[in-house]
Structure 1
């Protein structure tokens, strides 16, 4: 039976608050789908409910096939800020905006990056085991060290990188920033030192924390050569996207003493194979791509996602959250 309602696909992780924002409208019908649905099943589900007018994505890929299956897509949104699984040119060709959750999860990712720095610097895993395993006498052989006075190099100075910088400055660290797309004046105004040559800056950094998007330009940004420029006592943190760091190169550096340790929230393949070589290393801390997925962040991202959808349906898109600005009039 024909209906005037706009059909919106939402992943299971969309919060109750966000659902309430959508369902309080008489002109919207929600259809839920699993966060880890297969591409084939997702296409079939879209076809069975077509026309579909909006979608709130978690990890699900979206491109030409899904657009065709939807028949009348008006807006594609991500419950997050990354969009490497979305075919942006395909959306632009059909004048469909891709929207992200703005700064909703940036405090959470910044905190996670700092957590990984602190966990490594304070040798949390080793000292926990020292007490638990009855090796108290060994504690002076595994002394932690301070973030105070250390140099951190932040790669990417967007919503997350700039918040990470604030937290590092609060710990009285020397904060350097590499971002070729930001003006030096903006970086200096935030109390940080801009660097224009990543390779030249790496040897002086005690910590390198990555906060740039995954693009053709940044895939493999930290390969063997670049990791090799870091000093042996340095630590590498990646809470951005898998593939920016070459895992094989990272493993080689960590096992040969050319890098002190690493904090990794994202992987080249997700979920990573159980036998991933990095898992066995004592100088690595890992997490399952949840730096930006706290209880509070999920609520903030979900509600922003709902507002993004409504803004398009109401003819007034929240412009700062639109990735493909070329579709806007």
Structure 2
């Protein structure tokens, strides 16, 4: 077999019910030049049974005692043979043209060290995808210009590429992968900071994956701002960057990104409190959001909670239905990016 273009690194821990869909989305790749390295991060007999159902020489299973998420990723990367590697969570999905699209970009940019792509989000609860996608959830509001080179300042300002992006294996090893040598950091942020400091990292706007948003997973939800801020500052330190000594434009961008995240956190908390009939708490969270980011949306929520909280609560399911209808319409027009045989609705079982 030829050397794979991309090695997918997939730690598995208590995600056995999602694993078949993830494996099948890799098997559905239109370009067959890949390998999938699964790490049974907890000695699960069920994981072994599932992988045995896919007798493909490109799929390998390693087994170890639970060594944490980063430990699982690093165990997989140590066994990888592809020119590029990509972290793939065991409950996420790939679009069928992931490998083909990355390989095509690399052919036209042979010196590139990493290719960051976009991804659809989908809800764990009802399988609905979100039109905005990954880049819209970061500081990169409109999606990247194809081939744009990413800088350290961009990452410091919150433009962190999607974690299942393709990274040249030699560059990954040089920056230490998900073993940055520091505790309490966001390993993905550290990787991208170190890569953009020394290597050629490019962004493309293609949505080449689907990632699951779970209510219980702070790693997938920017609402976990307290933890995010602490890890972000520690990640800055790993690069030797003192936030107080950043260039003024970078510091402003960082602060703007953190305010946006705090706004999102407070708005989610306001919505949760309202649905729990705690109007007083909902008003406090809404005002907190407005203070972080004065905008029409925040002001409208504050006004609605002050004047007609019951009407605001009643409007929520209507908004959800309208959003779902818009999402389904958008998904029909972008069906080419759906993983073959694995629609978000069919696989949102986590």
TM-score calculated relative to the size of structure 2: 0.29
More helix by share: 2
TM-score calculated relative to the size of structure 1: 0.31
